[in-house]
Chain A
Amino acid sequence: MKLLSTTHGVPAEAGRESEDAFRVQQRGSRAIAVLADGLGSSREGGVAARRAVDMMVDYHRARPLAWSIPRSLHEFATQINRLFHQESLQRHGSPELLCTLSVVVIEGGRLYGLNVGDSPVYLQRGGSLSRLSQAHHVDDPNMRHVLTRAIGLEASVEPFLFEAEVLDHDQILLCSDGVSNPLSDDTLSRMLEGQSTARAIVAAAREVVVTTPELQDDASAIVLRVVERGWAGDHPDRTLEVVPVLRLGQSVDDYVLVRPLQEGGRVWLAENSAGLRHVLKFPPSEAHDDEIRRDAFIREVWQATRVNSPDFVRAFIPPQESLRYYAMDFVDAPTLRKCLQKGPLRVEEAVELGRFLLRACQFLLTRDLAHADLKPDNILVVNSSGRLRFLLLDFGSAAELFSVTSRAGTPSYLAPERFMGGALSERTEIFAIGVTLYETLSQVYPYGEIERFQTPRFDSTPPLLSRRNPAVPGWLESLVRRALSPDPEHRYQNFSEMAYDLGHPDQVAPYHRKDAPLLERNPLLFYRVSTFILLMINMLLALLLLRK
């Protein structure tokens, strides 16, 4: 397919920043065009627009191939919406991250699109212009600037989805209302027919605005011109089989299964024809006829393969994949759980582990993700010439922050609020890091082992680390205990806050539980006050003695 694209955008007033954002990305015969218009009335409209466009393009690049394009567009849009809404409520107390969103994907000779809000998408074909998108604003002509749907406005959003066949010489226009309001459909149609670029269309809109200043707004446009549609190709949707039983020595594509790595036989060590060893992970056999589980696995593959950092075991989809599974690099290193069976880590190693976990979590946070199953079993310990290096494993539970309110995860590492329907958050991840560090230093769980399906109580205080491991310094004890506080308000609130403490031992404030006695919280004050009281009593007694 041969496709030409032009883009252009200008702010409403020169010198001010535009609240529109747009991006086009073309790879081979696939293209995606995204345009978002930040809501002027909100505090962070421009930020929302730019983030939404980038997220959409990034998500789409790594989209799970098992999902159809409309399905994945829908999934991504609702996810961005949920994220903006939750984040804004937490930061501002009201939805401020607001923008419209229009997306067009051209793939395999078809056009798939989605829109939320009033940034229109037009298709120009054979001299006539048709609007593919839906306008989500109030019908009253005087109230057209009021949107009924926008990204970030409500906890959930129902995006409008559209689809069309693509023909040679079709033109697709995405623009903000700064373009579509001043220019009539006829004008737009004429301009597209005359092969106008996005720059020319935006310029025309600016000219109209000069005479009607009330229409002044940020203006941006994307024009996609299909020069030659070419071979349409087959539908890219793949339905890969879930194999119920896997056996030793079985060959899967280029691989031969060498050894199962987990009970249940769904994670295997495998060797390919080039002699390279990889770990293959297959969906649970129930996924064969259970769509929810199949979906969960597809999501896991998506999360795992789009994370690319030296702190994580690399995951990828083998190019010749013919069954449902994904591959990971095989790292021949024991898990932290195995290491702990031999004895606790040294203090400096535990500190390094803490730094590693916080770094990895912060990295995921930039992708709006949380690992959601941090525990020694999911951490590999690589011993490179005496120094320990760590790697994080298993994206089976990874999810967007706030998206999980169930008890999914490993019970002993779940924060207390997660048992009461609380959402996955930075603070719940910090609790899991706390449990992991506690275990690393003492080999026991701080609150005892918690079983699946149990509703535990957290009213006992974990025993002092230094009692089990005298090498643990006071500041590290305070740090771990603060991460382990049953009350999320008393925990570290952010990864960065905890990371700072980990890097500045001299500045760690001693941690005490809420009901700790004064003697424990502030011994100096206790002794000062009690000495003072004793002195007073003595003086009083002396006075009485003298009186006699």
Chain B
Amino acid sequence: MLMLVSPMMNISQLKKSGHWPTLLTSFLYFDVSFMVWTLLGALGSMIAPDLGLDPQQKFMMVSLPILSGAFLRIVLSLLVDRIGTKKTGILAQLIVMAGLVVAWRMGIHSYGQALALGLVLGVAGASFAVALPQSGRWYPPHLQGVVLGLAGAGNIGVVIDHLAAPRIANLWGWQSVFGAALIPLVLAFVLYVAFSKEPPGEFKRKKLSDYVNLLRQRDAHWFCFFYTISFGGFVGLATAFAIYFRDEFGLTAVHAGEVAAFCTLVGALGRPMGGALADRVGGIRSLTIFYSIATVSLIGAALTHNLWVCGGCFFLASGAFGMCNGSVFQLLPQRFAKDIAVMTGLVGCGGGLGGFLLGMFFGSSKTYTGNYVYGILGFATLCVVALIGLRLVKTRWRTTWGATAAARI
């Protein structure tokens, strides 16, 4: 039975059941990780001139953490089932901190070093696979939605990046940002080690074959693709904004960061709204609306050259993608009820891939045509493909539901 419970009631329930220090510390860990994950995106426009990078390389550098995060998620989630969540969490945090210490003390002097740091930061992006099961497994099924919702709040980390990183870089140079980022990381790490606890009970070990089996279903393909576009669009734009606004409109790093932060914020806040809307009007319908808005506003952003119009279009696109994320996650647990843990991993991987793809579109477009128009239009085309996919899923759901309906729920 589905009950509508007010969020406040859920929060008080959260305090009573489960283990709230774990919930708090693991999400602190997740949130600061998300923040450093997209750090290179916020700094990209400042690092690039110092290392003499061409646009292709520039976008490669900022997108690589997203790609490596996508695949490391699956690695970490396999590890969680084998050595435990807390051990995996500690290991992942140590790797990220070590990487940042090296970058801060030794400095980044070449494209290769920047890429290496990008790979290491991917581990931070994979924290989702650790924090979520660790806190989620403490709580009964009906509170899982709230736990998932809190996780979504981590997206705000990107906004902080855009606001803080350029300012710190202005004061002490961009290398020092890596050092500054260590402060919240170390804090979260200490709290995590001290207060978080391994969730009780035995859990079914996920195997690589589980992922492969799930990928045999056609719906799984489409859901991965939907999230590739929506989360890819959100996180890809978030990392590309700073460079884009600086290149296109000659803004200073701080100003570009502010515009980027503003555009990203709406995407992060849109997530829960997208989920609520999907429940009210239907997931397919709401996704159709959001993808259409995203397509139109991306085309608008590609074809106009005015800071306000273009910024407005990106603002809309980012918000639409953020709401898409929420809508996808409204459908996902219902469509893949018992496989949700594996499916979340797969879909997240797709999302990361999308972010990387968008970065590559921007980079190649600038390198080969001298502007971003084709890159943005390319991504808009993918949105159209997603719209077609929605039609296909909708017709299939309409025809093949009966026999398995009772069994599924």
A residues apposed to B, CB below 8 Å: 262-264, 266, 283-284, 286, 290, 292-293, 295-297, 300, 373, 377, 394, 396-397, 399, 404-410, 419-421, 450-457
Q: Is B366 an interface residue (CB 8 A)?
A: no
**When the two chains form the complex, which single residue of A290, A292, A450, A453 contacts B334, counting CB atoms closer than 8 Å?**
A453
Q: Are A397 and B405 in contact (CB under 8 A)?
A: yes
Q: Are B401 and A410 in contact (CB under 8 A)?
A: yes
With known contacts A405-B1, A408-B409, A453-B330, A297–B403 Cβ distance under 8 A: yes
When distances are taken between beta carbons in the complex, the residues of chain B under 8 Å from A286 are: 404
Q: Are A293 and B407 in contact (CB under 8 A)?
A: yes
Q: Is B400 an interface residue (CB 8 A)?
A: yes
Interface of A is mostly: loop
**When the two chains form the complex, which single residue of B2, B282, B399 contacts A263, counting CB atoms closer than 8 Å?**
B399
A266 vs B398: C-alpha distance in the bound complex, in angstroms?
A: 15
Give the nearest-CB partner of B281 in chain A. A454
When distances are taken between beta carbons in the complex, the residues of chain B under 8 Å from A450 are: 282
When distances are taken between beta carbons in the complex, the residues of chain B under 8 Å from A408 are: 405-406, 408-409
Q: Are B2 and A420 in contact (CB under 8 A)?
A: yes
Give the nearest-CB partner of B399 in chain A. A263
The 4 A-B residue pairs with the shortest CB-CB distance in the complex, in nearest-first order: A451-B282, A421-B1, A396-B403, A454-B282
Give the nearest-CB partner of A404 in chain B. B406
How many pairs, one residue from A and one from B, have CB atoms within 8 Å of each other in the complex?
96
Q: Are B405 and A396 in contact (CB under 8 A)?
A: yes
With known contacts A263-B400, A419-B2, A455–B279 Cβ distance under 8 A: yes
A396 vs B398: C-alpha distance in the bound complex, in angstroms?
A: 14
A494 shortest CB reach to chain B, Å = 25
B331 shortest CB reach to chain A, Å = 6
A295 vs B1: C-alpha distance in the bound complex, in angstroms?
A: 22
Q: Is B283 an interface residue (CB 8 A)?
A: yes
Give the nearest-CB partner of A292 in chain B. B407
When distances are taken between beta carbons in the complex, the residues of chain A under 8 Å from B2 are: 407, 419-421, 455
A292 vs B337: C-alpha distance in the bound complex, in angstroms?
A: 13
Q: Are B284 and A451 in contact (CB under 8 A)?
A: yes
When distances are taken between beta carbons in the complex, the residues of chain A under 8 Å from B330 are: 453
Q: Are B399 and A262 in contact (CB under 8 A)?
A: yes
Interface of B is mostly: helix
Q: Is B16 an interface residue (CB 8 A)?
A: no
Give the nearest-CB partner of A409 in chain B. B405
Q: Are A373 and B402 in contact (CB under 8 A)?
A: yes
Q: Is B396 an interface residue (CB 8 A)?
A: yes
Q: Are B280 and A397 in contact (CB under 8 A)?
A: no
When distances are taken between beta carbons in the complex, the residues of chain A under 8 Å from B403 are: 266, 283-284, 296-297, 300, 396-397
B174 shortest CB reach to chain A, Å = 45
A351 shortest CB reach to chain B, Å = 27
With known contacts A453-B283, A453-B331, A293–B404 Cβ distance under 8 A: yes
Give the nearest-CB partner of B393 in chain A. A452
A376 vs B396: C-alpha distance in the bound complex, in angstroms?
A: 17
A-B contact pairs, 13 of them (CB 8 A): A262-B400, A283-B403, A292-B407, A296-B406, A296-B407, A297-B403, A397-B402, A406-B405, A409-B402, A420-B1, A450-B282, A452-B283, A453-B331
Q: Are A421 and B282 in contact (CB under 8 A)?
A: no
Q: Is B397 an interface residue (CB 8 A)?
A: yes
Chain B's interface size range is 20 to 34
Candidate in B1, B280, B331, B407 with the most chain A CB atoms within 10 angstroms: B407
Q: Are A451 and B406 in contact (CB under 8 A)?
A: no
Interface 1/0 per residue, B142-179 and A, CB below 8 Å: 00000000000000000000000000000000000000
Give the nearest-CB partner of A407 in chain B. B409
A455 vs B278: C-alpha distance in the bound complex, in angstroms?
A: 9
Give the nearest-CB partner of B400 in chain A. A264
Give the nearest-CB partner of A393 in chain B. B402
A283 vs B404: C-alpha distance in the bound complex, in angstroms?
A: 9
Q: Are B407 and A295 in contact (CB under 8 A)?
A: yes
When distances are taken between beta carbons in the complex, the residues of chain A under 8 Å from B407 are: 290, 292-293, 295-296
Q: What 20 additional pairs, Cβ within 8 angstroms, besides A293-B404, A410-B401, A420-B1?
A: A263-B399, A264-B396, A266-B403, A292-B407, A296-B404, A297-B403, A373-B402, A373-B405, A397-B405, A406-B405, A407-B409, A420-B2, A421-B1, A451-B284, A452-B282, A453-B279, A453-B282, A455-B279, A456-B280, A457-B280
Scan residues 23-63 of chain B and give those whose CB is less than 8 A from a CB of chain A: none
When distances are taken between beta carbons in the complex, the residues of chain A under 8 Å from B281 are: 451, 454, 456
Interface 1/0 per residue, B228-249 and A, CB below 8 Å: 0000000000000000000000
With known contacts A295-B407, A408-B406, A452–B401 Cβ distance under 8 A: yes
When distances are taken between beta carbons in the complex, the residues of chain A under 8 Å from B335 are: 453
Q: Are A455 and B396 in contact (CB under 8 A)?
A: no
A504 vs B394: C-alpha distance in the bound complex, in angstroms?
A: 41
When distances are taken between beta carbons in the complex, the residues of chain B under 8 Å from A397 are: 402-403, 405-406
Q: Is B3 an interface residue (CB 8 A)?
A: yes
Give the nearest-CB partner of A299 in chain B. B406
A451 vs B331: C-alpha distance in the bound complex, in angstroms?
A: 11
Q: Are B280 and A455 in contact (CB under 8 A)?
A: yes
A166 shortest CB reach to chain B, Å = 36
A189 vs B243: C-alpha distance in the bound complex, in angstroms?
A: 96
With known contacts A420-B2, A421-B1, A406–B406 Cβ distance under 8 A: yes
B236 shortest CB reach to chain A, Å = 27
When distances are taken between beta carbons in the complex, the residues of chain A under 8 Å from B19 are: none
Give the nearest-CB partner of B217 in chain A. A286
When distances are taken between beta carbons in the complex, the residues of chain B under 8 Å from A451 are: 281-285, 394, 397
With known contacts A420-B2, A453-B282, A454-B281, A399–B406 Cβ distance under 8 A: yes
When distances are taken between beta carbons in the complex, the residues of chain B under 8 Å from A293 are: 404, 407
A223 vs B406: C-alpha distance in the bound complex, in angstroms?
A: 41
A103 vs B2: C-alpha distance in the bound complex, in angstroms?
A: 38
B228 shortest CB reach to chain A, Å = 21
A410 vs B400: C-alpha distance in the bound complex, in angstroms?
A: 10
Q: Are A263 and B396 in contact (CB under 8 A)?
A: yes
**When the two chains form the complex, which single residue of A284, A297, A407, A454 contacts B279, counting CB atoms closer than 8 Å?**
A454
